[in-house]
Amino acid sequence: MSASASTSNVMTPAGNVVLHIWPGAFGLASIEPTCLAAVLYLQLVIPGKFTVKESTTPDYSPNGQLPYLTHDLVTISSLSGIMTYVSGLPGSSKLDQHTSAKEKAQRTAWKAHAASTLGDLVAHTFYSSANYWKLIRPTLAKMMPIPQRYYVPNRIRELYKPRLEAVGLWPAENEASSEQSKLGASLLGRPPPLKDPKEVARNVFALEQTLEKARACLDTYKKLLNDHIFFDHEKLSTLDIIVAAHSLLLLNPPFPNPVLKDLIIESYPSLAVHARLVLSRAFPDPTISPLTYHKSSTNTWSALIPTFGSNMPKPEPSEIEKEYTKMRWVWTGLAIVSTVGYLWVNPPIVIVQLRDEEEEDRVESDEVGGMEDEDEEEVLADMETEDDGAAEAQAA
């Protein structure tokens, strides 16, 4: 065996490593911060040795959330679990290998803090009224097949509502209704409704609260970064990846209401530079993506119908794909049987009932009319009898 072949075997993880993530947008590999962090981590640790499968249905994940990773018969969920597993693969780079036990504990706490606080800022920016209705909802809808695109984005937004309400970052109901009315007016070609001065004052107060919370979070990481290029001075760490993933989703999208984006660019340029640097380490050439993607499903009605095989050779499907195909067949069969049964049973009964009711109404109408005619004849006969009696009395 040659030296090059031996090196290749050592550097390549055994099996097929597949990372399942939310689809990408705005020039980034994923629209979700933990998914983006997972992509950045794998690209830095095992570059070119994994594939990406975009998904909008996290039901197959062990914890019901994206991202999750499959490697042969192994399935790992959560970002921390993925990082721990991938760091143990043959030939993987070790980002945090020189840290002590105390430093590892501190970095674990910092990573949890970043995912929570920066995650709140990303969720607020994405699902606040103006940004959600004009940018995020249309973007999510394009990623999803029919009919999920019509209701799933709103469900995702509602899932973030309790979290953002708890930290005071959920938009006020009057603000949300105002944005919906503006959107409806624009779609109908009507002028937008006039702003209520009280509503304007409430929105200004809510904006100041949001900026105050954002500054408190960003100040923390600005001080932690200090004058270094990474949080671990000159060494890239997993904390850098998590912070950069959230920062990039605050910087890259063209938000209609770029409040936090402008705040980072104007007041925290070191964090913006840090995020771009981490991205450039993972993807040196921004015009070329080194990621290998599995083919994603089409966003049409045909995605709901099982496809038949062809003569082209196909790889052996995984257990998840087999289960998904089986469920599609079950769903299609139930839909066909239900539709045929409904068309077979309901229309004749409805038609017969309508005809019977019309016939009964006509008969009742005829009977009522006949009774009225008989009553009129009896009244006329009685009147004639009374007239004859009166005439006979007069003659007598």
Per residue in 135-177, pLDDT (tens digit) is: 999 999 999 998 899 999 999 999 999 999 999 998 765 454 4
Can you list the pairs that 345-354 forms with residues at least 24 positions away whose Cβ atoms lie under 8 Å? Answer: none
Quickly state the pLDDT bin for 15 (edges 50, 70, 90). low
Average pLDDT score over residue span 241-267: 96
* Predicted model pTM: 0.70
Closest to 84 in 3D by CA, of 114, 126, 45, 142? 45
Strands of 12-113 (E only): list them. Answer: 17-21, 51-54, 68-71, 74-77
Report the alpha-carbon distance of residue 337 to residue 200 in Å, rounded: 54
Per-residue pLDDT tens for 81-130? 999 999 999 888 888 877 788 888 999 999 999 999 999 999 999 998 78
* Tokens encoding 197: 């001065």
pLDDT tier for residue 355 given thresholds of 50, 70 and 90: low
In percent, the amount of the chain with pLDDT more than 70 equals: 68
Q: 355: which 2 tokens?
A: 């005809």
d(CA 21, CA 65): 9
233 beta partners:
230
pLDDT reading at 374 higher than 70: no
Q: Is the dihedral of CA 114, 120, 121, 127 positive or negative?
A: positive
159: buried, middle or exposed (CB in 10 Å: 19+, 13-18, 0-12)?
exposed
Whether pLDDT at 243 is above 90: yes
Q: Please provide residue 137's backbone torsions phi and psi, each rounded to the nearest 5 degrees.
A: -65, -45
Mean residue pLDDT of the chain comes to 79
User: Tell me: the pLDDT tens digits for 269-313?
Assistant: 999 999 999 999 999 987 888 888 876 554 545 445 544 443 333
Q: Distance between CA 39 and CA 370 in Å, rounded?
A: 85
The pair of three-digit structure tokens given for residue 393, joined into one six-digit string: 């009395």
pLDDT of amino acid 384: 62
Domain boundaries, the chain: 12-303, 306-396
Given a contact cutoff of 8 angstroms between Cβ atoms, the answer to whether 81 and 47 are in contact is: no
Q: Return all residues near 53 (Cβ < 8 A) that are at least 6 apart.
A: 18, 19, 20, 21, 293, 294, 296
Per-residue pLDDT at 293: 86
Chain position carrying tokens 């100040």:
219
286 Cβ contact partners less than 8 Å away, ≥ 6 residues apart: 27, 280
pLDDT-derived band at 24, boundaries 50, 70, 90: very high
pLDDT at 216: 96
First vs last C-alpha separation in the chain: 148
Predicted confidence at residue 314, as pLDDT, reads 43
Whether residue 11 contacts residue 5, with contact meaning beta carbons closer than 8 Å, is answered with: no
Confidence of residue 20 (pLDDT cuts 50, 70, 90): very high
Residue 318, SS3 per DSSP: coil
pLDDT score of 320 more than 80: no
More confidently predicted of 385 and 229: 229
pLDDT surpasses 50 at 259? yes
- Residue with the bigger pLDDT between 344 and 265: it is 265
- Rounded CA separation 338/334 (Å): 6
Phi, psi (rounded to 5 degrees) for 264: -65, -45
CB 14 within 8 A of CB 90: yes
Q: Which pLDDT score, from 0 to 100, does residue 182 have?
A: 53
Two tokens at 252?
């890259």
Q: Is 78 left (phi over 0), alpha (psi -120 to 50) or beta?
A: left
Report the range of poorest mean pLDDT among 20-29, 81-90, 254-263, 374-383: 374-383
Amino acid at residue number 180 = Q
pLDDT above 50 (res 254): yes
pLDDT tens-digit profile of 48-73? 899 999 999 888 889 989 999 999 88
